[in-house]
Amino acid sequence: MNILFPGRHHILTRFQYDYLSRIISEGLKGEKDVNGEPLGLEDKVDSIIFAVTSSDHSNTRRNPVPFYQRAMALQEFSSTLGVPSYIYDIDAVSHMPDFAHYTLERIKHRSDGKFNLTPENTLVLCSTPVLEMYEQLGFKVLPAELADRKTESFKAKLPWEIVESIAASEGDWRANPLFRNEVHPASQRLWETYNIGDKVRLLFSDRMIGDDGDLTETRDNNSYVRAMDEIAGIKYERAAPFIRPGRIGDIGCAVGSWIRLASLDERFRESDLFGVEISRPLYEICEQRKTNGDFKNPYAFFSRKNAVDGLVFEPNSMNTIHTSSLTHEIWSYAGPKALRDFIRNRYIENLHGGVWVNQDVVGPANGDEIVYMHLNAADGVNDNVFVEFSEREPLAAHLMGLSTRARFLRFSRDFRRDEGYKLSYSIETVDGKEYVRLKLRDACEFMSKKDYTDNWESEMHEVFCSLTYSDWCNALREVGFKILPGSGTYKNQWIEDNRYKGKVELYRMDKGVLSAMANPEGHMLIVGEK
């Protein structure tokens, strides 16, 4: 008779060893199942088959230990049991009611047909609710630690309880009484040799969890959340192919929309998800959404931290870090050095093989090139361009009423004025048509901001075109990142069709003749691998 022992097997216990040793040496006669009923078998145990579930996941709270280390401990654990033992990896799949059937088929495939496990030739050893799936297939289940199924009481500590105890213990985790007294020597040696307890403490650390208080007021942010969710869908779709499972962080997570999509992605249901946001109102929305159950993955955590000042994750701890529409703000408000430090810190936080996925605006490659920009002067008014307003709403209404040409004139005065920048341009007439002559970089700054009328004053501080894509590649490589294929620049076709067409056109002058030019690609996705 085979014994199938499914589980994650992050830690092995003395109780498990003694239990297996007893039924192997004494046989199955007189043994009872999880319901306290006699098995009615007199067979001997021929082999132990360890099905290691979630074998393709590691470096998370749910799965701190990688499969190869779990297999190492199992091999030593079973070496003195007196019967052959076999270890098979069972990858994580989406929640399915027939996961037990999947496990059996996986073992059959992995063993090249050696083990076709059926209720006639196999008993299942399991003390968790997983046992119900095997019962539905007709298997009899040995209870192991389970003392009473109805009251959910146990004869010994479950392995995961010991893992949690180690994570919560103070001082030297090796001195934890549960670790010393209840963990099998095979797991003890593995955990001590590879300092797994230190890793578990890191993964279970609450540094990223709720270090600011609860919500103190109730408000209706439904419309804002929906808008952010819609935008996040596009951003997540672009980033998704590059995301590595494990510990996944989104810096500048706003209302958690990107994290929400990651929590819905079945590839990452075993991953830990971390959102970092500096704005208290946005952070509070994230926490409220978590309370509301918006995140399918329960291992989604949020923290209110400033990522510009230093590390927000432990060094060498992250599999994926994502940022979107953030890095241009760092350059704009904190300067080039702060951005270089930000890039370096993301490198420090990633594991080897981890990635930083950054989505943002980007400057044109030939930003100093002089171009001619034709602007629509008939799509609005051209009077009182520079009138001042003390409140945002009337300013936005005024800007919306201006023609594209008039809005450029206002932009030329307002852009980075407080920072001392003076946009240089001239108005020229070529073949009876008026053009603005200026650097391509400045033209792109205007084009990318001309429709942000609701937040005009704040947008006038931000620089979208400070770095070219080549500059970005160099900056990431300087700290050690490798740029992955699939990185690059792109256009937002909706913006091209709805904000540029019929409003603004770019031309080059060559030997006194103007020729139309394509708008530069103003967005990028760049992925750096450590």
pLDDT-derived band at 56 (thresholds 50, 70, 90) equals: confident
Count how many Cα atoms sit within 13 Å of the Cα of residue 202 in the half-sphere of its side chain.
18
Query: How many residues would you count in the chain?
Result: 530
Is 269 within a domain? yes
Amino acid identity, position 346: R
Q: How far apart, in Å, do the first and last CA atoms of the chain sit?
A: 48
pLDDT value, residue 445: 97
Q: Which two tokens stand for residue 3?
A: 């014994």
What's the CATH code of the domain at 247?
Answer: 3.40.50.150
What is the spatial distance between Cα 486 and Cα 238, in angstroms, rounded to a whole number? 10
pLDDT of residue 228: 67
pLDDT at 225: 60
Rounded to an integer, the average pLDDT of 22-40 is 94
* 60-97 residue pLDDT tens: 888 999 999 999 999 999 999 999 999 999 998 766 77
Look at residue 428 and tell me if it is in a domain: no
As a whole number, mean pLDDT of residues 348-352 equals 97
Q: Which three-class secondary structure state does DSSP give residue 272?
A: strand
Residue 265 burial class via C-beta count within 10 angstroms: exposed 0-12, middle 13-18, buried 19 and up: middle
193 with 266, same domain? no
Residue 396 domain flag: no
Strands 146-148 and 153-154: antiparallel
Q: Which pair of structure tokens corresponds to residue 296?
A: 């399918």
Does some domain include residue 49? yes
Do both 137 and 263 map to the same domain? no
- Residue 483: inside a domain: no
> What pLDDT does residue 227 have?
58
The pLDDT > 70 percentage for the chain reads 95
Residue appearing with tokens 């650390």: 205
Q: Are 42 and 155 part of one and the same domain?
A: yes
pLDDT by residue (tens digit) across 363-406?
A: 999 999 999 999 999 999 999 999 999 998 999 999 999 999 99
pLDDT digits 0-9 by tens, 165-224: 999 998 999 999 999 999 999 999 999 999 999 989 888 874 433 333 222 233 334 544
- What is the pTM for the complete model shown? 0.73
Q: What is the pLDDT of residues 490-516, one digit of tens each?
A: 998 989 999 999 999 999 999 889 999
User: Is 18 exposed, middle or buried, given 0-12, 13-18 or 19+ CB atoms closer than 10 A?
Assistant: exposed
Nearest CA-CA partner of 176 in 185, 166, 167: 166
Both 171 and 108 in one domain: the answer is yes
Residue 235, in any domain of the structure? yes
CATH code of residue 156: 3.40.50.620
Q: What pLDDT, on the 0 to 100 scale, is given for residue 95?
A: 66
The label of the residue with tokens 């206002």 reads 410
Same structural domain, 200 and 275:
no
The torsion angle over the Cα atoms of residues 9, 12, 15 and 19, rounded to 10 degrees, is: 60
Mean pLDDT across the stretch 451-470? 93
The answer to whether residues 153 and 7 belong to one domain is yes
| pLDDT in the model for residue 212 | 30
pLDDT (0 to 100) of residue 226: 61
Tokens linked to 433: 């048509």
Confidence of residue 59 (pLDDT cuts 50, 70, 90): confident
Amino acid 215: pLDDT: 26
Question: Does residue 193 lie in a domain region?
Answer: yes
Is 408 contained in some domain? no
Give me the domain span that covers residue 40.
2-204
Rounded mean pLDDT, 481-485: 98
pLDDT at 283: 86
- Please state the separation of Cα 62 from the chain's center in Å: 15
Confidence (pLDDT) at 223: 46
Count of structural domains, the chain: 2
Query: Does residue 153 share a domain with residue 44?
Result: yes
Contact 448, 521 (CB under 8 A): no
Q: Are residues 226 and 200 in the same domain?
A: no
Q: For 335-358, what is the mean pLDDT?
A: 96
The overall average pLDDT reported for the chain is 92
Domain match, 34 and 175 both: yes
- Residue that wins the pLDDT comparison between 213 and 425: 425
Q: Please tell me whether residues 199 and 227 are part of one structural domain.
A: no
What is the per-residue pLDDT for 213? 28
What's residue 456's pLDDT? 93
Collapsing DSSP states into helix, strand and coil, what is residue 278? coil
Pairing assessment for the beta strands 85-90 and 47-53 based on DSSP bridges: parallel
* Res 284: pLDDT: 86
**DSSP secondary structure letters along 196-261:** HHHHHHHHH--TTS--S----S----HHHHHHHHHHHHHHHHHHGGGPPSSEEEEET-TTTHHHHH
Separation CA 251–CA 312 (nearest Å): 9
Do 285 and 162 share a structural domain?
no
SS3 content of the chain, % helix, strand, coil (to 5): 40, 20, 40
For position 97, what pLDDT does the model report? Answer: 78
Say yes or no: 190 and 242 in one domain: no
Q: For the chain, what percent of residues have pLDDT higher than 90? A: 81
Last residue of a domain, one of 340, 361, 382: 361
264-304 tens-digit pLDDT: 999 999 999 999 998 878 888 898 889 889 999 989 999 98
Q: What's the mean pLDDT in 340-352?
A: 97
Q: Which of 204, 236, 268 is the last residue of a domain?
A: 204
Unique residue bearing structure tokens 């950054």: 358
Q: Which helix (H) or strand (E) element contains residue 326?
A: none
Lowest mean pLDDT among 50-54, 229-233, 471-475: 229-233
At 447 the pLDDT is 97
Q: Pick the last residue of a domain from 173, 204, 235.
A: 204
